[in-house]
Structure 1
Amino acid sequence: MSDDRTLDDTPDMAAAELALGLLEGEERSRALRRVLAETGFAQDVERWRGHLAQLFDLWPAIPAPAGVLERVEWSIDGPAAMAVPTPPRRHFFWPAIAGVSSVAAAALLLFVVLRPISYVPHPVRPAATPTAPVAAVPAKMLVASIDPVEKGTPVTAVYDPGSGALRLTAAALADANRSAELWVIGGDGVPHSLGLLRSAGGSSLAVNSANRARLAAGATLAVSLEPIGGSPTGLPTGPVVATGALSQV
């Protein structure tokens, strides 16, 4: 299904914020539910991810010097007058993102929120004592739009690496005499079955330990038509009717 919108045509900011990993709690849950329920919103997330993917590797993770986080938090919540100079607060304006200036703002906001704070007003010497361990970052969600080979509605897939749960929207790809079976194709190029899809109400699949390693950004999800109950051989036996690639959000 085609979509002629571009990132400059009144973007849905929830899609951009989800792609950047800025949403938390109920806002993140609401956005993920929209990915499952709204094809256009899921495609907006995909476009934002592709538009900003080149920015994710620009800054390596650097442990923050001791006391920087406390000074930044104090500068945000404390009195306006400060006895000790602190890094200036960054303000980002999101109502209209367009062009190169908007991409730079998104990159800086992503760096501040998702990376340890490392900005200091002047160069400092390395600390004499080891810094505290940095907390592990939760695994990022993976999404894919599985597009039919012929005309039809794409199937949106959302995978949570933390729980191993794979959720998909309704897949009206098979008739009453066949089953739609979902496969993942990783770096080895071999299809591995993830389970059968339901034609109504969406599907929720529990991914086994072997397939969890294969569900990574860039892996292909494909749907084939199989006999009722699934492929009898462990490999696709019928035509492939839809494909899509996993992307990280």
Structure 2
Amino acid sequence: MADGLSPEERDAIAAELALGVLDGAARAAALRRLMADPDFSPDMIDAWERRLAPLYDDYVAVTPPETLWPGIETAVAGGLPAHPALRQLRWWRACALASAAVAASLALIVLLRPGAPVAIQQPAQVAMAQMVGEPDGPMILARYDPTSGGLVLRPTGVASGRLAPELWIIPADGKPRSLGLIGGGAESRIAVAPSYRRFMAEGATLAVTMESMAGAPHDAPSSAPIAAGKISLF
């Protein structure tokens, strides 16, 4: 959202990410909304994780009874008594399936009908990465647009001084390539060089090390990363 999220929306999304209840497209959409919000900081997710940590200590693993799955399979196979409500549910389900079949047939007729070809718009993929280090150390959220080559970074806990944070892309060959120095503030934007864009792929690693500002971008990192994370495409 261009005008940012409300405090309630921002807090709710951070809580959902901390709980891990979002995955796939839902997680990607949540990260996009947070990255576009000027008032969001990754430590909001950390705060929720700290609040939820005591609950994990009270968790007790329970082994399900051996009859659980056979009972579910029997219910799915229609082995339950034919209660009137179940018969009505099956009737509505049959109607829904029939309607879906009709709709699919109509769609097929429209697609196969002679005429001007219809362009199907495929959603553009976005690359995301969450770079973390020590439990109480820096965290950096990254969003990469493969179409424009633009990389947006939202760091927290990154302190610049004599040394500055430098971002690296580490593809499958294991060789780090510098993407340049980044800021330690609320947001950094980098235009990835065309020759490096092919490395911004699923499973590649983004990492940040603290380097001297002189001579940047460097040929190789001089220290261990303070934060790192793998790229995922959505």
Shorter-normalised TM range: 0.5 to 0.7
- Structure 2 residue 226 is matched with structure 1 residue 241: yes
Larger radius of gyration, structure 1 or 2? 2
Q: For residues 27 and 115 of structure 2, what CA distance do their matches in structure 1 show?
A: 34
- The aligned counterpart of 1:161 is 146
Map Cα deviations across residues 27-80 of structure 1 (whole Å, 9 max, x no partner). x964542599243669x9xxxxxxxxxxxxxxxxxxxxxxxxxxxxxxxxxxxx
Identity of matched residues, %: 26
Match of 2:213 among 228, 234, 237: 228
Q: Give the 5 Å matches for 1:24-63.
A: 30-34=33-37, 37-39=40-42
- The aligned counterpart of 2:186 is 201
The 3-state SS of whatever aligns with 1:120 is helix
Change (3 A) 1:35 1:145: farther
Q: For residues 184 and 36 of structure 1, what CA distance do their matches in structure 2 show?
A: 27
Match of 2:100 among 87, 90, 101: 87
User: Normalising by the residue count of structure 1, what TM-score does the alignment of the two structures yield?
Assistant: 0.53
Q: Which has the higher helix share?
A: 2
Residues 184, 214 of structure 1: 8 Å contact kept: yes
> Which blocks of at least 5 consecutive residues in structure 2 are unaligned?
1-16, 49-97
The 3-state SS of whatever aligns with 1:193 is strand
Alignment length (residue pairs): 166
Offset of residue 162 of structure 1: 1.3
- The aligned counterpart of 1:108 is none
Q: Which amino acid aligns with 2:132?
A: D
Q: For residues 141 and 38 of structure 2, what CA distance do their matches in structure 1 show?
A: 7
- The aligned counterpart of 2:19 is 5
- The aligned counterpart of 1:148 is 133
Change (3 A) 1:6 1:203: closer
Please provide the CA RMSD for this pair. 4.1
Map Cα deviations across residues 129-163 of structure 1 (whole Å, 9 max, x no partner). 79936535243111111102452241111111111
Residues 36, 169 of structure 1: 8 Å contact kept: no
